[in-house]
Amino acid sequence: MRYAADLHLHSRHSSAVSPDMTLEKIALQARRKGIDVIGTADCLQPQWLEELSAKLVEREPGWFSLRKEIDDGLVESLPPSLRKPLRFVFCTEVHCAPVGSGRLGGIHHLIYFPSPSHAARLAEKLKRYGDLSEGRPAVNLTSRQLFEMALEIEGCHFAPAHVMNPYFSSLGSEEEHHRLDELFGDLQPHLLAVETGLTSIPTMCRRISSLDTHALFSNSDAHSLENIGREFTILETKPGYEPMIAAIADKSTPRELYKFPLSLTRYFLNWCGHCKEAFDDTSCPRCRQKLITGSRDWLGVIADLSEPAGKPEHFTTLLPLITLLAKAFGLTVKSAKVKSYWERMLQHLGSERYILTMADEDELRRLCLPHIAEAILDQRIVGLRSATVTSKATSPLDEQLTF
Ligand SMILES: [Zn+2]
Ligand SMILES: [Zn+2]
């Protein structure tokens, strides 16, 4: 089966996450976005793990769905076009912050589990090293120590998160240098894959030879419902956790990454923490503060290849439908008109992913305002072209979308 997987997000139990990130609302929103397999997030958090264990049932080995009595009620509230099966995978993000890491130090990693009992086993081991009541727990362990503990539990898999972020990433930043081989030593070959994060695209990752042997995957890292599915990975496997894991890990398995426009992410250019704005400069033109080095310039420091090696994974850039509509109407994403148009499109056409990537031209032209249909079709052409963008160019999406 061919499916869209979003395997990194957060529940309401993680700090700085919307209280709307409940299991039921995540299940509804994933369907609206066209995600078929979604991470549970935060599954080491005791109350959340208890809730997940009570409400989810295993449908295929390692793939779970909401109990029928809960899911039926939810699905009924959706238009028929969105009533699709949805599977959950147990996963979490853990912040390795050994003593001395500093406030913005440490590294985030993703861990996947074939069942809630596997998650409970890791939680049991980790509770001595950190406060698990935080959904994304910080543990007093090095990356290697955490990885080793996860590997001791058969069926668990481990992947560095958002590899090129200026904070909490395995490739480090100007402030805190790291390398994968230093972090993991002889365990490095056992990594599941490397998450691109919002700040990097395959053509960037493939200029770093130490990532050569690892496959790439993309996820939303959503902290709110709106952001679910802003990035995802398309895979084609038999249903179930093991076939999915095997496909993610094997670099030669075809996959397609769908990515949020790089140029619109906070940490691609250099970021002023004071003015909350990105600039193509080293110090802020407004307040003169030194900017946080974004992934584009950081890549210039750490890349050891001038061109991407091999054939980088195929990816497509997608502006979320609501943002595309807001631009087309000249309004903000919070506008009532934009929201109601978005809802009507989902009702008549299907999920956001279907609308943006699959609905055919006739259908779009028949059901949408002409300039909306045009914007969606345009994005497909531009999105494909962006696959050839090199690290020095910003995504062309923003500039070339015509409405
Ligand atoms: Zn993170
Ligand atoms: Zn500034």
Q: How does pLDDT run across 14-66, given as a tens digit for each residue?
A: 999 999 999 999 999 999 999 999 999 999 999 999 999 999 999 999 999 99
pLDDT digits (tens, 9 = 90+) for 252-302: 999 999 999 998 898 999 999 999 999 999 999 999 999 999 999 999 999
**Number of the ligand closest to the Cα of 287:** 2
pLDDT average, residue stretch 165-190: 90
The angle at the Cα of 143, spanning 137 to 149, to the nearest 5 degrees, equals 80
Q: Which of 325, 346, 348, 349 is nearest to 337 (CA)?
A: 325
Where does the pLDDT of residue 87 fall: very low under 50, low under 70, confident under 90, or very high at 90 and above?
A: very high
Distance from the CA of 104 to the center of ligand 1, in angstroms?
12
Report the pLDDT value the prediction gives residue 386, as an integer from 0 to 100. Answer: 53
Judge whether residue 304 has pLDDT over 50. Answer: yes
Q: Is the pLDDT of residue 395 over 90?
A: no
Q: How far is the CA of 93 from the centre of ligand 1 (A)?
A: 7
Tell me what pLDDT residue 385 has.
55
Longest pairwise C-alpha distance within the chain: 60
In the three-class reduction of DSSP (H, G, I as helix; E, B as strand; rest coil), residue 88 is classed as strand
**Model pTM score:** 0.93
Cα of 162 to ligand 1 centre, how many Å? 7
Q: Which ligand is nearest to the CA of 286?
A: 2
pLDDT at 402 over 60: no
For 65, 280, 393, the CA distances from 289, given in Å and listed in that order, are: 49, 13, 25
Among all ligands shown, which has an atom nearest to the Cα of 276? 2
The pLDDT, as a whole number, for residue 6 is 98
Share of the chain above pLDDT 90, in %: 86
* pLDDT of res. 261: 93
Residues linked to residue 107 through DSSP beta bridges, in sequence order: 96
pLDDT of residue 384: 58
Check residues 263 and 126 and name the one with the higher pLDDT: 126
Task: Output the CA 166–ligand 2 centroid distance in Å.
Answer: 17
Whether residue 403 is predicted with pLDDT greater than 70 in this model: the reply is no
Residue 267 CA to ligand 2 centre (angstroms): 14
CA of 128 to the centre of ligand 2 (A): 41
From ligand 2's centre to the CA of 273, what distance in Å?
7
Structure tokens at 99: 């003593």
Task: Give the integer Cα–Cα distance in Å for 154 and 12.
Answer: 28
pLDDT grade, residue 242 (50/70/90)? very high
CA of 275 to the centre of ligand 2 (A): 4
pLDDT value, residue 383: 64
Q: What is the pLDDT of residue 374?
A: 95
Query: How many separate helices (H) and strands (E) can be counted in the chain?
Result: 15, 15
CA 378 to ligand 1 centroid distance, Å: 32
Answer yes or no: is pLDDT of 376 > 60: yes
What separation in Å is there between the alpha carbon of 94 and the centre of ligand 1? Answer: 8
Per-residue pLDDT for 243 more than 80?
Answer: yes
In the structure, what pLDDT confidence band is assigned to residue 393 with cuts at 50, 70 and 90?
very low
Distance 245 CA to ligand 1 centre (A): 20
Closest-approaching ligand to the CA atom of 282: 2
What integer pLDDT is reported at residue 45 of this predicted model? 98
pLDDT at 361: 96
Tell me the ligand closest to 288's alpha carbon.
Answer: 2
Q: What is the arithmetic mean of pLDDT over 71-98?
A: 96
How many CB atoms lie under 10 A from the CB of residue 213?
Answer: 12
Q: Residue 399 — very low, low, confident or very high, per pLDDT cuts 50/70/90?
A: very low
pLDDT at 33: 98
Per the CB < 8 A criterion, the answer to whether 35 and 353 are in contact is yes
Q: How far apart are the CA of 223 and the centre of ligand 1, in A?
A: 10
Mean pLDDT of 339-351: 96
pLDDT of residue 381: 86
Q: How sure is the predictor about 389, in pLDDT bands with cuts at 50, 70 and 90?
A: very low
| 91-98 average pLDDT score | 96
